[in-house]
Chain A
């Protein structure tokens, strides 16, 4: 009992002062696609209530010139395996909008939640700042989500395999918990190019679960 209490106090002390825990309050939103890639192709599975749907998700970056270069537009398209479009979203000037959807998905709750899913996919924090924190401080980075797109909550970057300043083998993941009437959980696991290669999104009340795995990056 006494030993447990001592360990608990020591743990609190370590957590309070240990530099491995960092906070990144000043999130700058950049998309998960780095300069060298413009398109991601994912295999997708959606469970919604008793329904099941599978297909493909394409995230396409549209880099313009001048001001648009650092704030590109994104198109996110959901389609069936045989190629028919299901839903299409566009992210431009910090806002996500539904471009079109088929009658099959003509349910406001579905395409609104899918929109939040897309927002969270696009939003990210400034990686240069993150990497600096990781290198100097540690393996867990806590961030805040943007309020501008209507998604509030907490976001955590998790890194395994970091020892001191060595970044030899890093397993990177991100956990997002949104607030609100219908909170959502979001898990992203990244590949070595820092691109999400597995994404899982769930909303318990509506029994919505979306799971995607990266097939190709162009």
Chain B
């Protein structure tokens, strides 16, 4: 049960590799004209991105709730295969990925998973690496549609895997048109129930110590 949830946690973080701050204005999106060129540009940016540090704001929108459940935290990525996804408020929750292993830390307790031990985790790990390399538009595990407007590219990913499909109906990623990095990441459970993650205060290619990816 928890294992599957952790797969979803990985799904949540993999697209966040390309972090950038900007909220796209509501404009009409049309189908991308030159997908090959876009793919090349995103791959180039990803290849040159060695570290990312950013804050994030996560909003949970639910049809039945008259409030938005908001969480905030910090995101750190270091090439290759190192990731720190840390919720700071209103609760503490830490996900670490380091060279094929994932750790979840809460209440001073650590759960560890070997991402190479199962095909599902391995495919998600590969998916994450592909995302780093810029292959987000060509992932075979998702049916992908790409749209654009003056500010952003919108990538809509519909999972083909039934196990993922029952939890997520779609993922939408807004990529900044200028920087080719991700502005916003949204997971849809239905049209009205979704989780939106925005990235703030991004710093790219700053020195990041390996200690950030180890549970102390």
Contact = CB atoms under 8 A, between A and B. Distances in A.
Q: Which of A62, A90, A102 has the largest count of B CB atoms less than 10 A from its CB?
A: A102
Contact of A81 (B64, B91, B111): B91
Nearest to A213: B91
Contact of B189 (A54, A85, A105): A85
A75 B93 CA distance: 25
Name the interface size band of chain B.
Answer: 20 to 34
B112 to A, nearest CB: 13
Interface in B22-74: 58, 60, 62, 64-67, 69, 71
Interface of B is mostly: mixed
A85 B17 CA distance: 24
B5 A80 contact: yes
Interface in A79-93: 79-85, 88, 90
A80 B62 CA distance: 13
A99 B65 CA distance: 14
Nearest to A79: B60
A81 B167 contact: no
Contact of A41 (B64, B66, B90, B187): B90
Contacts of B2: 51-54
Interface residues of A, number: 34
B9 interface: yes
Interface string A23-49: 000000000000000110101010010
B168 A39 contact: no
Given A43-B91, A104-B1, A82 B66 contact: no
A57 to B, nearest CB: 11
A80 B69 contact: no
Contacts of A88: 64
Contacts of A103: 163, 166-167
B213 interface: no
Contacts of A80: 5, 8-9
B66 A60 contact: yes
B142 to A, nearest CB: 17
A102 B195 contact: no
A84 B62 contact: no
Contacts of B187: 82-84
B106 interface: yes
B159 to A, nearest CB: 13
Contacts of B93: 54, 81
A56 B12 CA distance: 16
Contact of B8 (A56, A62, A84, A215): A84
B193 A56 contact: no
A80 B168 CA distance: 13
A77 B192 CA distance: 15
Given A60-B65, A99-B64, 8 more contacts: A39-B65, A51-B2, A54-B106, A62-B66, A81-B9, A81-B87, A83-B60, A104-B167
20 contacts: A38-B66, A39-B65, A41-B90, A43-B90, A52-B111, A53-B1, A53-B2, A60-B65, A75-B65, A77-B64, A79-B60, A82-B9, A84-B8, A84-B187, A84-B195, A88-B64, A90-B64, A102-B167, A104-B4, A218-B67
